[in-house]
Amino acid sequence: MVNEGELAFIPSAAAEGAHYHRNRIAITEASLDETSLDLGWVDLVQCHENLDAVPAAQILFREDGIRELAIEQRQHIGRAWVEGHSVQLEDVGPGAKLCIRAQSRALQSLGDGLFRLRNGPYMRRFLDGYYPMRVALKIDYPGQRLRLVGQTPESQEGFSVDRTSNAVQVDATFEGRLITCFDFCDRDDETCGGMAPACVTPVTP
C-alpha cells in the first residue's frame, strides 16, 4: 500500500538505495542575538544523494525562510540553477547528487530563553503517494550558551538521536512527511524550561 502522507518510521534496510538527504546546520551566536538582523538564521549545508532519475525536478524552500542560496556540487545532473527560493534541476540521471549552501530561518525564539529549531517537512513524494527516504541531520550549537531540553519526534526505531554538549546527530528512515523540532534553553535564563508548544506535524493530502 502506498503511503498517503502519514509519517511512518521504517527500518534502515527498507530505505536502502532511497533518496538520502543530509543536512548540516550551525546555530551561531548571531542566530541568538535578539538585536541582530541575523536572529533566527542558521547556516545550512544540504546534500541530496540517490536522487530519482527524472527529466526535471525542483528543491523548494519557504520564500521567507532561505537566503544566500548557492549550489556547491552536482553530479549526474545535466543542468542545475538557483531560481528565487528554489533549485531547479534538469536531466537528473541515476545516482545523481546535489549539494547546496544557504542560510535558513529555522530557529525561533519562543520567549523566556527558549529557542526552537524546526526543520522540514522532509518527504519523497510522487503523484500516487509518499515513498521511503533517509534524512540525516547534524546540528552544531554553542554549548556554552545553550542546552538541549527537548525533541520531536521521540527517539525510536527509524529515528535515532545522538547528543553531545554542543551537537545533535539524527538519522531517520521513514515514509510520509517528517518535521523535526529541537528545543534549547539559554543557560543564563533561569526561567527557561517550561512546557514548550507542540511541534505540529500536519498531514496535507
Q: Where are the domains of the chain?
A: 1-16+107-193, 41-105
Q: What is the pLDDT of residue 3?
A: 67
Q: What is this structure's pTM? A: 0.88
Q: What is the pLDDT of residue 201?
A: 44
Buried residues in 137-176 as b, exposed as e (16+ CB within 10 A): bbbbbeeebbbbebbbbeeeebbebeeeebebebbbbbbb
pLDDT lower than 70: segments of the chain: 1-4, 194-195, 200-205
Q: What is the pLDDT of residue 38?
A: 85
Q: How far apart are CA 43 and CA 30, in angstroms?
A: 11
On the question of a cis peptide bond just before residue 153, with omega within 30 degrees of 0, the verdict is yes
Q: What is the pLDDT of residue 134?
A: 95
Q: What is the pLDDT of residue 202?
A: 46
Cα 155 off chain centre by: 16
